[in-house]
Structure 1
């Protein structure tokens, strides 16, 4: 049953003061509880963040202090063998990372040998040459390099493998593809069809400035000019193979520099590799060359910062494609490549 209510009418002209009661004991208690919940939530988030960082370090190894993480893949003595992975297309970023790895190896007396783990179709001519140059310098400081080929070690990936004193291919490895290519396309017919006429001005003496540009015609003279450049890079490739493999080849380099790829067994017969075996066999060979017993084996990789640990990758539906001027330039500019494209 509802309680009766009383209505009071204020005299005309009077002022009514309405006072609001404080929260009282119940309100204060509620504020304390909410504050404690907030602090507990903050503490839990900090704990989870540090737990994630610890798990990452346990899984991926400790930073070396040179921007590189050394992940222990086999525990042993004080002497180490460093594994440098080469995965995917070789580009400028690949060359930069390998050069950093080599600088670390040079500074580290405990790293006695290197296994180059290759699974790549090759890539840029200059990028492959930079990697080869960095690795071949380790021989001068008595740090042997042994190559372990994965599914593929073709073209530029075979080029960088020439820094190895011994080459191991897995039974299913595909290697070779010795040669140079200049990927490109001619869009003159397409532009004509859509009514676009490109106008590019060049300085008077620079008559070859547009050679190879997609909006220009590949005349016989242009093709001959570009092929001469390709042949120069090919000669460099063959010279590197001759210097590294030399007497181990069963025929002249010129005979095998035809762009073909070979299975591991064929590559072994031709002298392109030394052994058929897995990464463990390459590690064993590296230890033997360095005259060390039961080494610790570490894999080198770039450090991942804190932001990379807490970054959440957007779903596929949220992906965006950025058509930047740099990307357009990369697509339109011809690039000489030691690359296998099946």
Structure 2
């Protein structure tokens, strides 16, 4: 009896317990990097394992994550929103005008604060509708469509404030940035709620599946009868709402609003968090939890370098390198 020759194993990428090594790092690289950073800081950074350090890092990353949640949904459809920083500036400029009575005098400060918050977020939501309309109805490239508000939005904020710094002492408003219910920063609670809600929407709802379908193959989504235009309109609206909320958090922390600085560069930080977190920049695959991990990793890299005497300019270079590696891993994952 002739024994059959055993099939020879095919040559390929190095395997790690049956898993493609490249695939492993594409999927879990951010989590591994975050774990290594934590271990390094525990060993080498004084006072790292304290509640104060935890609060500092979480409060600094919270506004980025709030914006990045909306950005994740936009990028998942194959788009991008460059206007989020300017929308933050608009919300931050408009809210103090309302609750300080410069627009309409209101005798009850709680009503004034509620109206200010609601109106500011509503306005940025409508600006998100504008972005979505340009993308979905007129089929303008997202980077071009959102560039309009990226430029004009900060100008609108400066017009609203006449270019002046707005300072205020209104505890009923500042709680959104300075409050500590149960010892937890308010913005961290907001961040956690938004991450959980957005992750549930993306993974468990029809709307979430539509988002990924549109980003994966828009033509196929159209042929399947999916409401592509409405999905795009919705994600840009959500991005605007997230930016408005983040703008309120920022001015609440500072008890002041500067139209020149609020949200400055936030679009880049949000996109970086999304990219490092594992969401495909070309759309079709997204992870909200990954976005959170990406933002935490970038923040912790910066904190680690600054705590160990590395200048902030060098930290920015390292940050850029992390983004480049994340995008390269995405490309390798797609090609294999």
TM-based fold match above 0.5: no
Q: TM-score, normalised by structure 2?
A: 0.20
Q: TM-score, normalised by structure 1?
A: 0.20
Structure with more of its chain in helix, by fraction: 2
Task: Give the number of the structure whose alpha-carbon radius of gyration is greater.
Answer: 1
If asked which structure has higher relative contact order (CA below 8 Å, sep 6+), I would say: 2
